[in-house]
Amino acid sequence: MTATGRIGAATSAAWRSFLRRRTAVFFTFFFPVILILIFGVLVGTRPTGGGLFTESPAYYVPGYLAVVVLFTPLSRVGSTVARHREGNRFEKLASTPLTRPEWLLAQTLVNVLIIGLAGLLILGLVVLLTGADVTLSVVVVPFVVVSVALFCGVGALLGSLADSQDGVIAASNSLALPLLFLSDTFVPPDLLPEWFQPVMNVSPLTYFARGVRTVVTGGSGWELDLVVLCVLAVVFFALGAYALPRTD
């Protein structure tokens, strides 16, 4: 079997595994919807007033997308790796032609599909419920794909290093929550202390949020953000694939 055939078979198996976990399917799509209803509808934005949500609705589109781009790969890939370790599946995987990078690529492709569907739902709801004036562009697609690959690599690292599935969940939440709110997503940089603003550039999610915001608001200059994400994605995907155990 060729590499394409191996990756395709592993992707199909991972997709069916996701669909069998109905709770995971439900909350993958339900969680970002809840955030939109709370922040976009109940709280709302006040472009001419004070408070946290002082920007236009379109400003927060990258934040809503970041929820699934960040949380879904970290939790799904991390938990899958931990579950495979506990079930001694990597020992069985080592006896097959499927390599560790191919296995991780298959997991990444499934997450791209899941997050792509969730992203379309999010964009539709944001426009419908908040009246956000967004520019739809295919440029958003590479931002999502590259970022998913990046955080799948991080998820693989967490799953390989944590001692249990509970440990993966705790580690992913501890990493994801600060990144979500301190990466130029929901909180504008000028609302944070001046000394902290350069620190935001350490977060990969910052480049996703800034790049996507530039695209959906019809701006220019998103290319550098995408290049940075591509470099980080290659690095973390390689580290994640390398960290995957050969045996359990």
164: left (phi over 0), alpha (psi -120 to 50) or beta: beta
Confidence grade of residue 104 (pLDDT, cut at 50, 70, 90): very high
Note the pLDDT of residue 43.
Answer: 61
Note the pLDDT of residue 49.
Answer: 54
Note the pLDDT of residue 199.
Answer: 85
Confidence grade of residue 135 (pLDDT, cut at 50, 70, 90): confident
238: left (phi over 0), alpha (psi -120 to 50) or beta: alpha
Domain layout of the chain by residue ranges = 3-243
3-state class (DSSP) for residue 47: coil
Query: What tens digit of pLDDT does each residue of 14-57 get?
Result: 888 877 777 777 777 777 777 777 766 666 555 555 556 677 88
CA separation for the pair 166, 154 (Å, rounded): 16
Confidence grade of residue 173 (pLDDT, cut at 50, 70, 90): confident
Amino acid code (one letter) for 168: V
Q: Cβ-count burial of 211 within 10 angstroms (0-12 exposed, 13-18 middle, 19+ buried)?
A: buried
CA separation for the pair 129, 235 (Å, rounded): 38
CA separation for the pair 45, 56 (Å, rounded): 6
> Is-above-0.85 flag for pTM?
yes
Residue-level length of the chain: 248
Averaged pLDDT for residues 123-135: 83
